[in-house]
Amino acid sequence: MTIQDKPVALVTGANKGIGLQTAKDLAAHGFTVFVGSRNLERGEMAAQSVGADARALQLDVTNQASAAAAADRIRNELGRLDVLVNNAGISHAGKPLKEIGKSGCASAASLDEVRAVFESNVFGVIAVTQAMLPLLREASAARIVNVSSEAGSLTLNSNPANPHRTMFGAVYSPSKTALNAITLAFALDLELTGIKVNAAEPGFTATDLNNFEGTLTVQQAARHPVHLALLDENGPTGTFSSVNGPSRGEPIISFKERNIFYGYS
């Protein structure tokens, strides 16, 4: 096992979109970055675009054995892990947003689709985080960032004034609600270790997750996850936030200061 001096980060689902840009930004901040990708060939192509300090890592977040093997490789090759960005996730790719809303409504949602989305967006985050925790616990100031979404906000989506509330169905949105809860669970569990765990809202970004109908660039979207990955010892833990704060420009707050996720339970 080799333990290198440079900090090491793992970004899941980093072969494209926000994950790839997050990997590039972390590399620019001096990290050696493992580019997690279910398809190794695509991961290798993405790693080449990140630069010399990037390594492709085969990782299927829905497969616990794959997560364990990825952790073993990181330990054997570099001997450390300082940052984990749980970016990998799926929605209803392949459909226009209006059709996504209709097919995901509670009265018509396919249970198979619900299970598939939760497998990636929720259970996958738990599996990967648990697999990487032995390495993260050994780091001096580890950080875990879960890429979430305002789509999971119960408060925002129960507000009749929210024009997007009709998109809150039984598939993608509840998976992000659950991810927010999982973020809190890990934050509380690891509170005394110094490991900070936060959820990031990257914004409505043009990626294949929404068939490129988003309004932000991946460069804009990656800024806040990277910011949370680089928090110093005075930074918060157990928060849901965007670059503008948890909700419409308010400052980042912790779970202890308000209700969970400022209503993002």
What residues are annotated to the active site?
172
- Report DSSP letters for 94-115, one per residue: TS-HHHHHHHTSTTT--HHHHH
* Helix, strand, coil share (%) of the chain residues, nearest 5: 45, 15, 40
Alpha-carbon span 197 to 35, nearest angstrom: 20
**Which stretches of the chain are DSSP H helices?**
17-28, 40-50, 64-77, 97-103, 111-118, 124-138, 154-157, 172-189, 218-229
User: If you count DSSP H runs as helices and E runs as strands, how many of each does the chain have, helices first?
Assistant: 9, 7
Q: Which amino acid is at 32?
A: T
